[in-house]
Structure 1
Amino acid sequence: MYRYDEFDHDFVQARVAEFSDQVQRRLAGEITEDQFRPLRLMNGVYLQLHAYMLRIAVPYGTLNGKQLRMLGHIARKYDKGYGHFTTRQNIQFNWPALSDIPAILADLASVEMHAIQTSGNCIRNVTADHFAGAAADEVADPRPYAEILRQWSSVHPEFSFLPRKFKIAVTGAERDRAAIQTHDIGLHLRKNAAGELGFAVYIGGGQGRTPMVARKIRDFLPEADLLSYCTAILRVYNLYGRRDNKYKARIKILVHETGVEEITRQIEAEWQELKDAQLKLPEADI
């Protein structure tokens, strides 16, 4: 699994300090709940009926022992002794006091975890097969690609205020245990006839009040083009996705209303402008 470098440590700790100040201002009544809402959502904090809820990212479902023990400590000290693992490989604590959340985030930062982009209209936690790296039917381990996507999407300046939340899943196995066709982008690692590794690309899946199965828009995308193609998809969605009705703002609605052929044409046209630029993955990164 990826280990933080100096930049990661500094960035996460700075976010903890920033949010701590915002919480203190909210508790002091210096800002209203409406003013606080976009600030807390950027840090994974929801307001439920009776309490705040904190959602913590577990990138592609991978935890080490130190991180798991820290989650247990947080559950015992700040919640009711338990948390809820979600279907998208996050963990939620449903009863923390708002005044305690900065301390929770500081504890998480000490074990290289955070709650950034676990809420809000941005690219959420990237998920993968829970048997990744050990599955007998695996063409390739999806976790390195999920990590590349995680780093690319973190606080992305172009995609931090999308029409609606955006979810990406990656699998490298024959059996789709990551449920990629219930995601906004689903990526299925496969090999072409020449034995080269790449992805089948799906878009427009989702559950909720309007469940839809994602549609395949590319049978094979070379692995080096992963970021440029995802950028093309998100640019088309960011431009044409609805912002007038949150129930019709997901990319699945855009695919349904535009038609898969037309939206594929738009994505491919955008990708032609991107594919040979700086977003091509170097062999060393892959």
Structure 2
Amino acid sequence: QMRQLAMIAETYDKGYGHFTTRQNIQFNWPVLADIPAILSDLADVEMHAIQTSGNTIRNVTADHFAGAAADEIADPRPIAELLRQWSTDHPEFQFLPRKFKIAVTGSPNDRAVTKSHDIGLRMLEQDGKPGFEVIVGGGLGRTPMIGKVIRDFLPLEDLLPYCEAIVSTYNVLGRRDNKYKARIKITVHENGLETFRDLVEDRFAELRPQFGGADQALLAEIEEAFAAPAFRNAETGAHDAAYAADPVYRSWADTNLAPHRNEGYAIVSISLKAHGATPGDASAAQMRAMADLAERFGHDELRISHEQNVILPHVHKSDLPAIHAVLKENGLATANIGLISDIIACRG
């Protein structure tokens, strides 16, 4: 997929792409007549641009360390995929008052920034039962607001009908007279959380009987697709030696590596924030270099973070010095993850 994005950047754009806070990529300079060909090329590698704009439910985002993080309670990726399938082309939600964004996290360290979303879902357990803390009405932009808890605990099996109740209530109550007042954060603020919650709960009571368990059967199938890769056991001496001897490598390791649930592995964040460059931009050559690294060292997996960086979620520590060397050759070894220069920017 990353190689296909590189091809699209070179063929139809100006040789680069811009990775976004929605964990997507933007091509900002294609000719309108080329759009059908671009969409066809994306479809060839199981990618699309459905609901990436417009007043719809946008792509669902999750913790970019999901399934790998040492601090994770539960993997949010199957939940995000279930929500994606439910929301894609949903006939009731194709002309909402304004765009609508959902995020899911399965970690107490909220890397999905759930409180800045229209719906934020925090996975947790109560008396051994899986469920969610549901947050509503967060957002950034010209009127930033922190989301409010609408349900302290929602059982897993109630997730889709409850989310549908929230969006359905917003679709009726949200303003359409002023697009700057049309997001759900304004709807909750103007009507009050208690009023909005009461309306959601009433709608949920109507919707819940319509969900007979097919969504839970689908979730079980989705979970199988997110099985962990086959981790290997090997010595980590190469990483330990490089860390002790090379201060440049040590600086990169201190900032750009995160703890993995497997002690022999690390999560690698590839910074797209080289000093003096546009945050989030990557050239076609850089995309191919990252694809090569994923294929050689990362179980064929790359992810995009909402901080507009690229993640190798499963890397054995013995491979880290080789990865760092390739990143240096391609201008991708900036050691600044989480620092002030790791800034986000919207090119749109």
Global fold match (TM > 0.5): yes
Aligned residue for 2:231? none
- Superposed counterparts of 1:1-286, under 5 Å: 67-192=1-126, 194-278=127-211, 280=213, 281-283=215-217, 285-286=219-220
SS in 1 for 2:40: helix
SS in 2 for 1:199: strand
Contact kept in structure 1, 2:118 and 2:136, CA below 8 Å: yes
Contact kept in structure 1, 2:138 and 2:145, CA below 8 Å: yes
CA distance in structure 2 between the partners assigned to 1:158 and 1:277 by the alignment: 15
Residues 238-270 of structure 1 deviation map (CA, whole Å, 9 limit, x = unaligned): 000000000000000000000011101111111
CA distance in structure 2 between the partners assigned to 1:103 and 1:274 by the alignment: 40
Q: Match for 1:204: what amino acid?
A: G
CA distance in structure 2 between the partners assigned to 1:220 and 1:82 by the alignment: 43
Report deviation, 1:99: 1.1
TM-score, normalisation: structure 2? 0.62
CA distance in structure 2 between the partners assigned to 1:158 and 1:283 by the alignment: 23
Report deviation, 1:279: 5.9
Report deviation, 1:150: 0.4
CA distance in structure 2 between the partners assigned to 1:284 and 1:73 by the alignment: 34
Q: Match for 1:218: what amino acid?
A: R
Report deviation, 1:272: 1.1
Query: Cα gap change, 1:279/1:208 in structure 2, threshold over 3 Å: closer, same or farther?
Result: farther
Q: Match for 1:131: what amino acid?
A: F
Q: Match for 2:24: what amino acid?
A: N
Q: Pairwise CA RMSD of aligned residues?
A: 1.1
SS in 1 for 2:216: coil
CA distance in structure 1 between the partners assigned to 2:52 and 2:109 by the alignment: 27
Bigger radius of gyration among the two: 2
Contact kept in structure 2, 1:224 and 1:283, CA below 8 Å: no
Contact kept in structure 2, 1:225 and 1:279, CA below 8 Å: no
The count of residues paired between Structure 1 and Structure 2 equals 219
Contact kept in structure 1, 2:79 and 2:219, CA below 8 Å: no
CA distance in structure 2 between the partners assigned to 1:227 and 1:124 by the alignment: 16
Structure with the larger RCO, 1 or 2 (CA within 8 Å, 6+ apart): 2
TM-score, normalisation: structure 1? 0.75
Contact kept in structure 2, 1:227 and 1:279, CA below 8 Å: no
Q: Match for 1:233: what amino acid?
A: I
Q: Give the percent of matched residue pairs that are identical in Structure 1 and Structure 2.
A: 66
Contact kept in structure 2, 1:202 and 1:215, CA below 8 Å: yes
Report deviation, 1:282: 2.6
Query: Cα gap change, 1:108/1:229 in structure 2, threshold over 3 Å: closer, same or farther?
Result: same
Report deviation, 1:134: 0.5
Query: Cα gap change, 1:124/1:279 in structure 2, threshold over 3 Å: closer, same or farther?
Result: farther
Q: Match for 2:162: what amino acid?
A: Y
Report deviation, 1:283: 4.7
SS in 2 for 1:170: strand
Point out where structure 2 has 5 or more consecutive residues left out of the alignment. 221-348
**4+ runs of 1 displaced by more than 3 Å?**
none
SS in 2 for 1:197: strand
Report deviation, 1:105: 0.5
